[in-house]
Amino acid sequence: MLSAPLWSQGQYVKSATCHVNTLPSVHHCQVPCGSLGSSKHTKKNYTIRTVQSHEAAIRSKHPQPAQPPDRSECLPCQGHDALPRSNAGDVKGDTLIDIGSGPTIYHLLSACEKFNEIIISDYTDGNRQELEKWLKKEPGAFDWTPAVKYVCELEGQREKWAEKEEKLRKKVKQVLKCDVRKPNPLAPVTLPAADCLLSMLCLEAACKDLGTFRAAVKNISSLVKPGGHLVLNTVLKGTYYLVGQHNFSCLGLDRESVEAAVRDAGCIIEHIQEAPEPAPGSISDYTDLVSLVARKQHAA
Ligand SMILES: C[S@@+](CC[C@H](N)C(=O)[O-])C[C@H]1O[C@@H](n2cnc3c(N)ncnc32)[C@H](O)[C@@H]1O
C-alpha cells in the first residue's frame, strides 16, 4: 500500500494512497488512491481500493487475461489526511528515475507534469514487459484509465485524462532492469544523475534485512544529482504479504530506520509523514506508511 506523490502546482502533495504488494516474481496490487491536499479536494479524504493494478500485476506474471476487476472492491473508505502542502518545496526538474516501478504507472501520472524525461525500471522481466505493453498500447495492455481519470480529477482536469496518458507515454524514455542491491541499480546502464529519484514500496520488498535496506537507499541515492530529490514511500512493520496463495516476506521497518538510512545516504529530509495505514484485509500485516521527500546534499 502506498501513496503516490502528486506534483501539484509545483509542490509535492500526497494524492493517492495505493495498496500494492509486489514481489520479483508475483505481484498483487490494490491501487489507488486516497486523500489529497489541494484546497479543491480537501473533503475527499478516502482511499479507493481497486483491483485494477492487481490485475496488471497478475498479468505480468500470467499472460492470460485476468478476471475483470470486481467493482465492488472499488470502495471509498477512510483514508488518512493529506500531507501538508508546500513543505517539500518544488519537486520538479528535467529527469526522474523511478526504481521498482512494478507493472504500474499510477505514481507517474502527476510526475509527468513536472519532469521532461522519465526512466522507469523494475527487477522482473514480467513487470517491464507489462509496462512496455502499456507504453506501446499493445493488445492486452492493462487499462489504467480509471486511475488516470482519478488523478486528473485530483488535479482539477478530469476531462484531460487522454492527454495525460499520452503525455506520460511520451515522457517515458526508457524501461530498464534494476536491482537496488547493486551499487549502480541500473547496471550495466549508466545514466547521468537525475533531478529526482522516486521509489514506491520497493525497498521493503527487495531487502531482506536492515543492512541491505540501508545499502539500497545509498545505491538508489547515487542516481540523484546533488540538490536533487529523493521521494520514497515505504510501509512499516510489515513482515509478510500475500499474493494470491503465496506468502512473501516484507522487511519490517520503523520510521527511525528509514530516516537514518536516508540521512546516511547523504540526503536531508525536507518532508516526512508517517500515517497509520493498516493493510487491507489479511493480505499483509503492515501498520503504517511513511512518505518522505529528501534532498541530496552537495559534497562537502
Ligand atoms: C510492492 S512492488 C511496488 C511496485 C510499484 N512501485 C508500485 O508502487 O506499485 C515492489 C517492486 O519491487 C521490485 N523489486 C523486488 N526486488 C527488487 C530489487 N532487488 N531491485 C529492484 N526492484 C525490486 C518488484 O519487482 C516489485 O515490482
Per-residue model confidence as pLDDT tens digits over 21-80: 332 232 333 222 222 222 222 222 223 223 334 445 555 553 322 322 322 222 222 222
Residue 47's pLDDT is 32
Its ipTM equals 0.99
31 DSSP assignment: B
Q: How far apart are CA 36 and CA 15, in angstroms?
A: 4
Distance 39 CA to ligand 1 centre (A): 32
pLDDT at 13 over 60: no
Cα 198 to Cα 80: distance, rounded to the nearest angstrom: 21
pLDDT in tens, 233-277: 999 999 888 878 888 889 999 999 999 999 999 999 999 999 998
- Judge whether residue 88 has pLDDT over 70: no
CATH number at 2-296? 3.40.50.150
Q: What is the pLDDT of residue 246?
A: 82
Residue nearest to atom 25 of ligand 1 (CA): 24
Residue pLDDT, tens place only, 132-141: 999 999 999 9
Grid coordinates given for 29: 496490487
Does 19 score more than 70 pLDDT? Answer: no
**pLDDT for res 266:** 98
pLDDT tens-place string over residues 187-226: 999 999 999 999 999 999 999 999 999 999 999 999 999 9
Determine the pLDDT at residue 56. 56
- The residue that leads in pLDDT, 5 or 149, is 149
Distance, in Å, from the CA atom of 161 to the CA atom of 153, rounded to the nearest integer, reads 9
Distance 199 CA to ligand 1 centre (A): 9
Q: How far is the CA of 248 from the centre of ligand 1 (A)?
A: 13
CB-defined site of ligand 1, < 6 Å: 2, 20-24, 29, 100-102, 104, 107, 122-124, 127, 178-181, 200-202, 205-206
N- to C-terminal Cα separation, the chain: 37
137: alpha, beta or left? (left if phi > 0; alpha if psi -120 to 50): left
Query: 205 C-alpha to center of ligand 1: Å?
Result: 6
| CA atoms of 231 and 270, how far apart (whole Å) | 10
Is the pLDDT at 110 greater than 90, yes or no? Answer: yes
Mean pLDDT of the chain: 77
Q: What pLDDT, on the 0 to 100 scale, is given for residue 21?
A: 31
pLDDT digits (tens, 9 = 90+) for 152-195: 999 999 999 999 999 999 999 999 999 999 999 999 999 999 99
Burial class of residue 160, CB neighbours in 10 A (0-12, 13-18, 19+): middle
The pLDDT confidence band at residue 7, using thresholds 50, 70 and 90, is low
Ligand 1 atom nearest to 29, measured from its CA = 9
Cell of 6: 502528486
Tell which residue, 246, 242, 253, 243, has the closest CA to residue 204.
253
pLDDT at 51: 35
Q: Cα separations (Å) of 127 from 20, 107, 122, 141, 174?
A: 13, 15, 7, 12, 14
- Give the residue, out of 15, 22, 54, with the most ligand 1 atoms within 8 A of its beta carbon, to mutate for a pocket test: 22
Residue located nearest, by CA, to atom 27 of ligand 1:
102
User: Measured between alpha carbons, how far is 69 from 84 in angstroms, rounded to an integer?
Assistant: 33
Q: Return d(Cα 230, Cα 221) in angstroms, integer.
A: 7
Percentage of the chain modeled with pLDDT above 90: 63
pLDDT (0 to 100) of residue 168: 98
CA of 40 relative to ligand 1 center, distance in Å: 33
**High-pLDDT (> 70) share of the chain, %:** 70
Task: Label the pairing between strands 172-177 and 115-122.
Answer: parallel
The pLDDT of residue 72: 27
Atom of ligand 1 minimally distant from the CA of 179: 20
Task: List the strands of the sheet with 267-276, edge to edge.
Answer: 172-177, 115-122, 93-98, 194-200, 224-236, 288-296, 267-276
